């Protein structure tokens, strides 16, 4: 698999996980224990629990959605480029 394709797919997966974690936080706001779930790909240590702030969660969801779309564009560009190269070589 091409490095650009695997990088784009990894970014899509990370954005999806960020969106899932943020949606879970919003859904669990009414629960008695409001420990915030977060996804930190660069940090393997457990992130300390923080209080859930709806405004921060909305920003996190928008950020994850933009990252998802950006990685889809990278994937689309890579696939188009690969297709064009195959057409030239064929």
**What pLDDT is recorded for position 21?**
92
Alpha helices in the chain (DSSP H): 3-27, 54-89
What are 27-67's pLDDT values in tens digits? 888 775 666 666 666 654 555 566 788 899 999 999 999 99
Where in the sequence is the domain holding 79, given as residue range(s)? 3-89
Total-model pTM:
0.70
**Is pLDDT at 13 greater than 50 in this prediction?**
yes
CA–CA gap between residue 52 and residue 54 (Å, rounded):
6
Distance CA 41, CA 26 (A): 21
- Structurally, how many domains does the chain consist of? 1
């Amino acid at each position: 698999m091409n490095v650009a394709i695997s990088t784009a797919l990894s970014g899509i997966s990370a954005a999806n996980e960020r969106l899932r974690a943020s949606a879970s936080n919003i859904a669990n706001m009414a629960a008695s224990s409001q420990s915030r779930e977060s996804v930190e790909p660069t940090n393997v240590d457990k992130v300390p629990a923080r209080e859930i702030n709806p405004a921060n969660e909305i920003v996190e969801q928008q950020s994850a959605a933009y990252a998802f779309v950006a990685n889809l564009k990278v994937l689309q560009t890579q696939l188009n480029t690969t297709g064009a190269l195959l057409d030239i070589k064929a």
